[in-house]
Structure 1
């Protein structure tokens, strides 16, 4: 029997272990933390059986296929973990100086309704020339061939691609930053290829009648996903080791011979899967490993950013919207979910003190801009100051037109413990991979040149190319497939491509020819739809 050691128990490592164990592979998994799940895990605040806090709320848009498929294979009660996903129906676009807007997230029934879904991002006062220009940019993306995307569009930022510096302030505020609110993408530095692709996937998710546009979990993450997953892996025979950090890999020629644990013990196996986070992975890429697998040498050039969450426990179930809240004038780029609207009542009642009736989970995506209370960036605040600042920014948005979030509603808060106080503020011990223009060349494949080493993390080359549970799950499958192929298994884990409307395929084929001939895309230097092919204009 093939023996595999998986080093890291986040979504990538757990996914690799799951795929391998289902096919009869002997798997041992080693996780540095006391709890499995990585950034997706939830954590008891005051010991087991108490309220759970999280790194940030979970979000499952329609294009998440790999992680949801895995969830559908994890038993939970009379169903599966996938049954714990519940759809949202609307997003609150909350402002201070501008009126609130509601954006529907349900599946539209006509193309007209689909385009109407864009209105919350555009806003009523967005100049028509900006709307026209955006549609042109989206058509450019939809008609560009893969090679052009991976070269020309990969090399430029989304900010440059949408000409943000020369657009209206409303365009920059409400559209250029649209993806930053929900996923770890920075418009000024993220590649036009990745941000544009994900932006389109979020839009196309509303067109697919087979899956909700976006879903969230109906309880704390460990309760309704990670714990049942660990139970399933145990049933499959996976040998799980929590609180067991790995310190090093020992090479013997072009093979990994052992993994060295932090306590000095060694682990031997036929295959190794490195599934540690992106900020930890460079510690394993020694000069000898980089020589054996040159594609790993660029991992330390991948950038990270901060995207951390805080949970506010309330004395009332504050019903905001059945979906996300986006705080458009928050200097810290806040988004939230009022969890009680989605959670089973028992999810709170069996853990919470009597006075807690609701949970508002907030994520801060911008940590370098001064706040409104202490006029310091988030990274320069104490944990107490961060909590007060975020609470104030949320209240200023929700209470502009009446009081939705009373000051005395707050019972307790829980800030991501990865934020550790220093003399100058906080340091983040769990930063998030962030896409940057040109970074694709630094992302390694799951199957390395070392004959028995695979990589499973959201920094692996995947179809999503995005720091997310989905990318980690896909990377875990790719790592498992590399092992399965080497050892003669004929049942690989399924990999899904990102789907775009078939109507644009003829234009992609045409652009593939233009690219081979060294010709630019027809929309490269245009500023209106008039220069696009007539058939493309009709499709818009």
Structure 2
């Protein structure tokens, strides 16, 4: 029997273990923490005011319509009389708020011309961005839609999203609502650093989810992530024979310059070397970078590129409320929040979760902080320089600034009974932030060439992470799952193990634009710019598109 060691028990590692175990391969998963699931896991929160610990998350889960790999895996994890996939529920709205106003966008596909115009206007900055600027942004989207893959990889991977949409030439609200907006709040992409190739491809997928009846634009889980996904997943994998080794961090990957010869782990304070026929790396970016050696880089040159990849912080804070506040049936985006916060009120979706064990707690507001580098509104300090209590106070102040009752939905910090900050954020002796154990990879300008292939040149080493090269592209659960499938397919091919390869999907766009993409491919090969690549000062299409808004 083929034996595989999976290094890391996050979504990538668990996905690889799943595909291998279902094909009869012997799998052992080595995880540094005490719980499987990586950044997707949930964990026990505070219990000072209730009988049992409250549930807490690294950040809220978000399953957009273009996810296909991870949802296929979820459909194969038993849960009650169905599968874990049944635990995904659809949101219907997005709350968008600035310091001056609030507006709500439906996530349902519009059925009338008026509905289409409203949805498009809301997507492109809402009432605070001018028609001219929305029209120009739509021109940029049109260029992305008709770009060839060759131009995306060869030209637009070297251009930042900020530069591509001419953010410096536009108004403050254009920059705040469109340049940041979805990019920073939902997918942890920083627009000044993010590659247009990545940002553009994902933006198109998110837009397609809003207007394609065959896709759900925004799904969330109906309970704490570990309860309704990760724990049932590990239980199922154990039934298939997967051996889980928590609290066993990898300390070295040994190589002779051609293949991996063994992996050093810390097993309860004792260093030992484990061996297997094949190794799957599901480790965070910074961890793999710390394990690079000249011998490993010689055996698998593509992994050397991880030292050139960038990370950002996107971490959660949970507020446990004395009164449940729905806010909106979905996510909330706060455009004037200097810390780029987003929210979701959980109780309305956690229909199977029993709140009776938590006396005095009637609701949970999950908040993600996506910008840890800019000063806040209370202490005039970035989150990276704050204490734990200052982070709590600052986030609440930014929420209250956007959620004044006289502008629509109201929220008061007085409702908070307890709270929990993601324990991945660490603090120094002076009480201020000194690190983040779980940052996110971001697809910065020029990063494509540095991302490792899931199947490395080392015959017995593969990579199953969200920073590997995939069609899914983004640093997310979908990309980690796809990379895991590609890693498993490489192991199956290299070992001659008799089993069907894992299924893979492509990101799709409307078939009607394929011809235009082929035309652009010829134009790009000829060395010419895309026909839509013009600046806002010379483009004459404003009047034609302005009527949409």
Q: TM-score range by the shorter chain?
A: over 0.9
Q: Which residue in the other structure is 1:10 paired with?
A: 10
Q: Note if 1:395 corresponds to 2:404.
A: no
User: Which residue of the partner structure matches residue 133 of structure 2?
Assistant: 130
Q: Give the C-alpha shift of residue 279 in structure 1.
A: 1.3
Q: Cα offset for 1:124? A: 2.5
Alignment partner, residue 368 of structure 2: 363
Q: 1:75 aligns with which of 73, 78, 89?
A: 78
Q: Residue 36 in 1 paired to residue 36 in 2?
A: yes
Verify: 1:425 aligned to 2:432, yes or no. yes
Q: Deviations over 1:224-278 (max 9, x none)?
A: 0000000110111111111111111122351212111123122111100011001
CA contact (8 A) 1:107 1:212 kept: no
User: What SS class does the counterpart of residue 206 from structure 1 fall into?
Assistant: helix
- CA drift of 1:529 comes to 6.8
Match of 1:383 in 2: 388
- Does residue 444 of structure 1 match 2:446? no
CA deviation profile, 1:398-440 (whole Å, cap 9, x unmatched): 1252772233311100000011112372121211111211111
Q: Deviations over 1:170-225 (max 9, x none)?
A: 21111111221111111111011111111111010122323311111110000000
**Secondary structure at the residue paired with 2:263?**
strand
Task: Report the counterpart of residue 103 of structure 2 in structure 1.
Answer: 101
Q: Would the alpha carbon gap of residues 95 and 126 (structure 1) be closer, same or farther in structure 2, given more than 3 Å must change?
A: closer
For structure 1, which runs of at least 5 residues remain unmatched after alignment? none
Q: 2:503 aligns with which of 476, 494, 513?
A: 494
Contact 2:448/2:469 (CA < 8 Å) preserved in 1?
A: yes
What is the distance in 1 between the residues matched to 2:263 and 2:21? 20
- Residue 19 of structure 2 corresponds to which residue in structure 1? 19
Say whether the 8 Å CA contact 2:454–2:462 is kept in structure 1.
yes
Distance in 2, Cα, partners of 1:492 & 1:264: 35
Give, in whole Å, the separation in 1 of the partners of 2:368 and 2:68. Answer: 24
Task: For residue 326 of structure 1, give the secondary structure of its aligned residue in structure 2.
Answer: strand
Match among 471, 475, 479 for residue 479 of structure 2: 471
Corresponding residue to 1:280 among 287, 293, 309: 287
Cα distance change, pair 456–136 in 1 and its aligned pair in 2 (3 A): same
Paired position in structure 2 for 1:224:
228
In structure 1, the partner of 2:261 is 257
Q: What value does the CA root-mean-square deviation take over the aligned residues?
A: 2.2
How far apart, in 1, do the equivalents of 2:466 and 2:307 lie? 14
How much does 1:128 deviate?
2.7
Cα offset, 1:114, TM superposition = 4.0
State the SS of the aligned residue for 1:312: strand
Deviations along 1:352-390, one digit per CA (max 9) or x if unpaired, are 421011000000111111111111111100011101111
Which residue in the other structure is 1:293 paired with? 300
- Contact 1:88–1:322 under 8 Å retained in 2: yes
C-alpha deviation, 1:62, in angstroms: 0.4
CA distance in structure 2 between the partners assigned to 1:374 and 1:223 by the alignment: 37
- Structure 1 residue runs of 4+, over 6 Å off? none
Aligned pair partner of 1:483 in 479, 491, 498: 491
Residues 199-214 of structure 1: matches in 2 within 5 Å?
199-214=203-218
* In 2, Cα distance between equivalents of 1:491 and 1:117: 43
CA distance in 1, matches of 2:239, 2:135: 55
Q: Counterpart of 1:433 in 2: which secondary structure? A: strand
Residues 1:87 and 2:96 are matched in the alignment: no
User: Is the contact between residue 114 and residue 206 of structure 1 (CA under 8 Å) also seen in structure 2?
Assistant: no
Match of 1:414 among 402, 417, 420: 420
Q: Which residue of 2 aligns with 1:434?
A: 442
Distance in 2 between residues matched to 1:237 and 1:284, nearest whole Å: 29
8 Å contact from structure 2 (residues 256, 296) kept in 1: no
Question: Residue 184 in 1 paired to residue 188 in 2?
Answer: yes
CA distance in 2, matches of 1:199, 1:471: 15
The TM-score normalised by the length of structure 2 is: 0.93
Alpha-carbon shift at residue 513 of structure 1 (Å) = 1.4
- Give yes or no for contact 2:256–2:299 (8 Å, CA) kept in 1: no
Tell me what 1:271 maps to.
278
Aligned match of 2:150: 147
Go from structure 1 to structure 2 and tell me whether the alpha carbon gap of 1:531 and 1:107 turns closer, same or farther (over 3 Å shift): closer
The normalised TM-score by structure 1 is 0.95
Residue among 245, 249, 264 paired with 2:249: 245
Contact 1:35/1:242, CA 8 A, preserved across alignment: yes
Structure-2 residue corresponding to 1:318: 325
Q: Quick one: distance in 1 between partners of 2:226 and 2:117?
A: 37
Structure 2 gap ranges (5+): none
Distance (Å, rounded) in 2 between the aligned partners of 1:84 and 1:516: 47
How far apart, in 2, do the equivalents of 1:491 and 1:113 lie? Answer: 45
Superposition pairs of residues 329-368 of structure 1, within 5 angstroms: 329-344=336-351, 346-349=352-355, 352-368=357-373
